[in-house]
A and B are shown apart, each in its own frame.
Chain A
Amino acid sequence: MPASLLLLLVAGLSLIGWTAGVARGRGLPAVAGSPVRPLPGPFGWYVGAWVAAPPLLFLSLWAVLSPALVTDTVLATPAAVQLPTSGFQRATLLAEARALGAGESADAFHPIARALAPAYAAAQARYDALATAAVLALALAGGAWAAARVRPGFAAAPHVERMVAALLLAAALAALLTTAGIAASLLWESARFFGHVSAADFLFGTRWSPGAVDPADPGASLGAVPLFWGTFLTGGVIAMGVAVPLGLMSAIYLTQYAAPSTRRRLKPLLEVLAGVPSVVYGYFAALTVAPAVRRLGLAMGIADASAESALAAGLVMGVMIIPLVSSVTDDSLAAVSAEMRDASLALGATRSETVMQVLLPAALPGVMAGVLLAVSRAVGETMIAVMAASGAASLSANPFRGATTVTRQVVDLLTGEAVFDSPKTLAAFALGLTLFVATLLMNVAALGIVKRHRDRYA
């Protein structure tokens, strides 16, 4: 039985368990010493949970284990002797046989895969039957045990309370597991990469050409400095050059000068920018901004102005980040106490003097934190870089020339038809690790600044 049907079965059984629990709970007399009879609801939840939980736990384990079990059974059949012993081709043949056996593909390319397909189908059917039987047995056993406990004197409510708390805790721990999963997968694959290439070559090498990796010395063409430079140039310099002045000044104007009605109308318009997905910005950068920037570069006499320039990608990244900078500035200006502002105005300072000399210095930590978050957003931005930045690495400071970014290279390395496990694809994970660490540090620093700031002014 397929997984979705099994889940439906568990849900149905659980509902039956709930009804049975309520029915049994309804007839129970009051506990000795209590003036009221217990409510039937908790008994229903108690039995229902005991019907559902064991099979669900089993199924989640089964989902991880069963593919390996099925493959093991297939490998034990006589037909498996013809399989090549080496890794990659063996895996391809097995995948093909599995797809054919499961009816996902109409025919297999290799005769060996065709021979193995019936074995796969048989093993899969056997294990599926086993899983169905186990699910039924676990659900019935759990339900019977829980229903048997529903007797006079048994209080289900505290048990249900504990189950609810455990469920909520499990959900919260899933977030922790995700973080751990990201760290583990990046570290694991990067460790394999650094088994091929030394960390010094990767971090300080100035030549990046993954298309021509020499198997004898992969480190010589996998030096990431040009990528770091390109990322810094587009995300750190050009994007911030657009986003910081525009975001800061928009926030100052909207909070200090604009009439409330103007503010009410303009602010949502800026928030629209935040709701536009990055692929649309990428599309805009590639089709509208990049050709314009190239024409501008040619008009300025830069002969090698590229259609995939750092300037085009950086400009659009900057536009994308304006709402982030402006909303953080808005919040930190609002957090400065009104007394300071009023005192400055009362002393005869103009509005601009108040903003520049009183409000901004007080709000500076918050604004700095916002800018840090904005840099981390720009550095991690992928689609604009993929669609508008260049794929070739260079170490040029000319914004009209092409520049590539870390994110762009991650996508390029993992979407080409490369063999998995080569230093080239593993390099993507090393780049991902660098990106993860860099953005994490920036976020932690930003949160730290905000927290200290809040403690000082609150």
Chain B
Amino acid sequence: MPDQTGKQPSAHRRRRAAAEARFRFAGLAAVALSAGMVLFLLGAVAWRAAAGFTETRLVVPVDLTGMRVSPDRLASRGADLALSGAGLAEAVALSADRAFGPGGRHLLSTGAWLGVRDAVKRDPSLLRGRTVFELPAAAALDTAAEGRGTPDAQAALDRLERAGAVRRGFAWGMLSGADSTDPARAGIGGALRGSLMVVTVTLAIAFPMGLFAALWLEEYAPRARWTDLVEVSINNLAAVPSIIFGLLGLALFLGTLGMPRSAPLVGGLTLALMTMPVIVITARGSLRSVPSSVREAALAVGASRAQTVFHHVLPLAMPGVLTGTVIGTARALGETAPLLLLGMQAFIAAAPGGLKDPATVLPVQIFLWSDEVDAAFVDKSSAAVAVLLVVLLGANALAVTLRNRWEARR
């Protein structure tokens, strides 16, 4: 390649140009590799999540004519007890045996009869005859339907398919159910509810505290050594590993204050301590970017300090504060490690009813399921990961748009 003087480039310059090209390529490769990993991660999750969100159902005609349950008991709160006492589970199992031959009951999920129970509770007239139900199949069949099952399960599935008894569909139970030992019945409903409770407690504490601390540091704090100490301690808290907060929660809330284990209240309090510094740091940044002319103008027309801060500075800084709050909340929502130490890793088969009930949260549920041997649980876990990612990436996208819109307006 001739240069501007028309001469061939020297060997030295060719070497430099080659080094330049190599460097540029290395940069491009690094970007491509990093971006490729994001796409690979998201792709791998989506691929498996699809399996977790589909379920296999079997068409079973269920005969309930032999059941003896009085109608007024069905309307009472003891309906569950009455139906299981009357042998509903056995009736469903016998129907499955009749439909699919001996051992047919094992083709259904162990909790399949609960679907029948709920249907009967809604419509007691079902007890008087035969009804065709679509009931969840055993986990082994579900795995086989995804092409990864054992030969036995595959053979059973093929036989059922020839009989036209197999249906595949979206697993609504996945979104509403709580944890269970049976993968066909396990869902993330309980964990979602626990997450919601934990995050509510976290926000209720971390948002006002973080905002107030930021206001004090930016608008009120005198220049003194001890105010530096407050500032340094907040900056350091933001970088402390999350598991240390778990140790603090364990020693303080569970140990010293004797609060209940596994409770959303304790988890929320612990995560609030962790989220507060994040909110403080972002809130301070956006308070600092409010021009000082705003403060001076307010003070000049006779506003008091509190009026200046709350009527003039804070409204201008609010979008930034909210961005920080969303980011902090998203972090709390995805946090796992401290909650493991607070007992939220226990197996909890019911959705929590209150802040002191034992509960688990979505990230912990992912951790628990990914540890299971049964492949069906791993699919569930992927589906839960997909839900978590949709929520968190949605929250982050919200924060970014909020920030951009705010920056565009200034």
Partners in one complex: yes
- Residue from A63, A170, A248, A415 within 8 A of B341 (CB atoms): A415
Q: Which stretch, A118-126, A144-152, A276-284, touches the partner chain B?
A: A276-284
Contact B213 A280 (CB under 8 A): no
Q: Which stretch, A27-35, A82-90, A219-227, A250-258, touches the partner chain B?
A: A250-258
Residue of B nearest to A170 (CB): B212
What are 25 sample pairs from A and B whose C-beta atoms fall under 8 A apart? A160-B306, A167-B212, A174-B213, A185-B252, A185-B255, A246-B33, A246-B34, A270-B38, A272-B393, A276-B334, A277-B335, A278-B337, A279-B363, A283-B370, A287-B378, A350-B20, A351-B24, A353-B16, A380-B241, A382-B242, A411-B340, A411-B341, A414-B340, A440-B236, A444-B236
Contact A280 B389 (CB under 8 A): yes
User: B164 on the interface (CB 8 Å rule)?
Assistant: no
The 6 A-B residue pairs with the shortest CB-CB distance, nearest first, are A380-B241, A277-B334, A253-B27, A171-B212, A249-B30, A352-B23
The residues in B between 25 and 48 inclusive whose CB is less than 8 angstroms from any CB of A are: 26-31, 33-35, 37-38, 41, 44-45
Contact A435 B366 (CB under 8 A): no
- Residue from A167, A179, A411, A414 within 8 A of B237 (CB atoms): A179
Residue interface mask B210-225, A partner, CB < 8 A = 1? 1111011100110000
Contact A175 B280 (CB under 8 A): yes
* A309→B334 CA distance, assembly (Å): 25
User: B93 on the interface (CB 8 Å rule)?
Assistant: no
A-B contact count (CB 8 A): 260
User: A188 on the interface (CB 8 Å rule)?
Assistant: yes
- Extra pairs beyond A377-B241, A443-B236 (20, CB < 8 Å): A104-B356, A172-B217, A175-B277, A178-B237, A179-B236, A182-B247, A185-B248, A252-B27, A257-B27, A271-B396, A275-B392, A276-B393, A277-B388, A277-B392, A283-B370, A353-B19, A380-B244, A407-B241, A407-B337, A436-B244
Contact B370 A286 (CB under 8 A): yes
Q: Which of chain B's residues have a CB closer than 8 A to the CB of A269?
A: 35, 38
User: B325 on the interface (CB 8 Å rule)?
Assistant: no
Q: Which of chain A's residues have a CB closer than 8 A to the CB of B396?
A: 271-272, 275
- Residue from B239, B382, B400 within 8 A of A443 (CB atoms): B239
User: A72 on the interface (CB 8 Å rule)?
Assistant: no
Task: Given A185-B247, A277-B388, A432-B243, check contact A383 B337 (CB 8 Å).
Answer: yes
Nearest CB of A to B301, in Å = 14
Nearest CB of B to A254, in Å = 7
Contact B241 A381 (CB under 8 A): yes
How many residues of chain A have a CB within 8 Å of chain B?
A: 92
* A175→B283 CA distance, assembly (Å): 15
Task: Given A161-B305, A411-B243, check contact A250 B389 (CB 8 Å).
Answer: no
B residues in contact (CB < 8 Å) with A: 16-17, 19-20, 22-24, 26-31, 33-35, 37-38, 41, 44-45, 208-213, 215-217, 220-221, 229-230, 233-237, 239-245, 247-248, 250-252, 255, 257-258, 273, 276-277, 280, 304-306, 310, 330-331, 333-337, 340-341, 345, 356, 363-364, 366-367, 370-371, 378, 381-382, 385, 388-389, 392-393, 396, 400
Contact B236 A380 (CB under 8 A): no
* A276→B382 CA distance, assembly (Å): 14
Q: Which of chain B's residues have a CB closer than 8 A to the CB of A387?
A: 367, 370-371
Contact B209 A428 (CB under 8 A): no
Contact A352 B24 (CB under 8 A): yes
Q: Which of chain B's residues have a CB closer than 8 A to the CB of A81?
A: none
Chain A CB within 10 Å, residue with most, of B19, B273, B364: B273
Task: Given A411-B341, A435-B241, check contact A168 B220 (CB 8 Å).
Answer: yes
* A272→B22 CA distance, assembly (Å): 28
* A363→B221 CA distance, assembly (Å): 33
Contact A165 B220 (CB under 8 A): yes
The residues in A between 262 and 278 inclusive whose CB is less than 8 angstroms from any CB of B are: 266, 268-273, 275-278
Contact A178 B273 (CB under 8 A): yes
Contact A172 B221 (CB under 8 A): yes
User: A376 on the interface (CB 8 Å rule)?
Assistant: yes
- Residue from B245, B304, B336, B356 within 8 A of A279 (CB atoms): B336
Contact A429 B385 (CB under 8 A): no
Q: Which of chain A's residues have a CB closer than 8 A to the CB of B371?
A: 387
- Residue from A176, A256, A275 within 8 A of B393 (CB atoms): A275
Q: Which of chain A's residues have a CB closer than 8 A to the CB of B35?
A: 266, 269-270
- Residue from A268, A415, A432 within 8 A of B244 (CB atoms): A432
Residue of B nearest to A173 (CB): B230
**Secondary structure of the A side of the interface?**
helix
- Residue from B28, B229, B273, B306 within 8 A of A176 (CB atoms): B229
* A153→B277 CA distance, assembly (Å): 42
Q: Which of chain A's residues have a CB closer than 8 A to the CB of B30?
A: 245-250, 253
Contact A432 B209 (CB under 8 A): no
Contact B389 A168 (CB under 8 A): no
* A278→B335 CA distance, assembly (Å): 7
* A256→B242 CA distance, assembly (Å): 35
- Residue from B209, B211, B241, B345 within 8 A of A174 (CB atoms): B209
Q: Which of chain A's residues have a CB closer than 8 A to the CB of B239?
A: 373, 376, 439, 443
Residue of B nearest to A444 (CB): B236
Chain A CB within 10 Å, residue with most, of B208, B209, B400: B209
Q: Which of chain B's residues have a CB closer than 8 A to the CB of A76?
A: none
Task: Given A185-B247, A432-B244, A443-B239, check contact A414 B341 (CB 8 Å).
Answer: yes
User: A51 on the interface (CB 8 Å rule)?
Assistant: no
* A171→B242 CA distance, assembly (Å): 21
Contact A352 B247 (CB under 8 A): no
* A424→B166 CA distance, assembly (Å): 52
Nearest CB of B to A67, in Å = 5
* A105→B273 CA distance, assembly (Å): 30
Chain A CB within 10 Å, residue with most, of B237, B257, B310, B340: B340
* A238→B24 CA distance, assembly (Å): 25
Nearest CB of B to A385, in Å = 9
Contact B31 A382 (CB under 8 A): no
